[in-house]
Structures are given as C-alpha cells and as structure tokens.
Structure 1
Amino acid sequence: MDHILLSICTKLSDSQSVERTGMAMLDVQILSGFMLRQSGVETDDLVKRVELLPGRAVLYLDSLGEAEKCVEIPLVRAFKVAHVQPALIQVFDYYEPRKHSHFQPEY
C-alpha cells in the first residue's frame, strides 16, 4: 500500500454548551514512513488553511457544529517502516484550546 487517503470526520460533541465553534484546528500526526502527497489538502469552505510541520499537518477549519464534517488527507509512502505506530489526531477550538479532543485511529 503506497497511497493512503486518510479520511477524518469530526463534529462538536453533544456535551458542548454551544451549537458552533469559531475556527477549529485539526492537528494530524503523519504516520512514520509516509508524507503528504504533493497534491496536498485543498482549501475550501471548511479547510481555510493548511500548515505543514515536520511529521504533522495542521488544518485550520472554518468552524465545527453538530453536523459531522470530513476532510481527506492524501498520503504517500516515502519509505518502508516496520511496526508503524498509530498517529495522534487532535481537534481543538482555535480560540479556546482547552476545548479539545484527541484519538488514535485504527489503520
């Protein structure tokens, strides 16, 4: 498997006291041995900006609400790595970072 299309879906938790956030950030660790495909993540009505950092991609999202929103991150294998570990994904409110959620997806 040399190409992966990582699909990440998120929404505002039912336990939140607001119906919508302001800007939200999606911080995605890239799996060892993979890199963002050259075409990258396109900006649109949801994804306003993409920042590439070593081993991570940070997506600035317009806002999150009660409806699920999904983004796709195209990855390509740069080199083979044995025993690839899960990568951490975090979602947090840009203006109130203490409001966050994180998980380790199953690949």
Structure 2
Amino acid sequence: MDFAYVVAIIIALVGFGLVVASNRAQRNSHETARLAAIERKLDTIMNHLGIEEPATTEDPEVLAHLMRGEKIQAIKVYRERTGAGLAEAKNAVERMARERGLS
C-alpha cells in the first residue's frame, strides 16, 4: 500500500470517531437537560405541597476522612455517595467540619 492510501484510511477512521463522540455528547447533553427539567418540576411540586427534603444522614466514611484532616477525600466520598456537584459537596463537608469543630 502506498502512503496516501494509509493516510486516507487514518483520516476516515478519525472522522468516524469524531462523529460517534459527537453523537454521545449530544445524547448526554439532552439527558442532562431533561433531568434538570424533571428536578425543577419535582421541586415545584414539593414546594406546593409543603414537603421538605429529608435531612441526609452523615456518612461515617466522610466523617472519618474529616477526622483525619482529609477534606478533599471527604468531599470525593460525599460526591460519590450523594451524586452532589462539587460546590454542593464542598459546602456540605465544610458544614460537617464546622459543626464538629474540625475547621
């Protein structure tokens, strides 16, 4: 095979990979937007009915990391367990630390 043929095949494969990745990104974006809309609707219903979100119990592993001074690891575990975003997890872990005098 000559060099131009190999280059053409590589370019075609890279193009195909980009198309597949783009489709996945669009699907994920659509699912994220749909989930956000569902969460807004649920929050509206809960507010209308006067239902408060239940308090979360504090995870012993998160507390153990805080006690050892491992704040970043505590945030990481909190995010894994709750699905919270980075800012929300950071605030929650810092609140736990303050309540226990571990700041």
The answer to whether the superposition gives a TM-score over 0.5 is: no
What TM-score comes out, normalization by structure 1 length?
0.22
- Relative contact order: is structure 1 or structure 2 higher (C-alpha 8 Å, sep ≥ 6)? 1
- Please state which structure has a larger fraction of its residues in strand: 1
What TM-score comes out, normalization by structure 2 length?
0.22
Structure number with greater Rg is 2
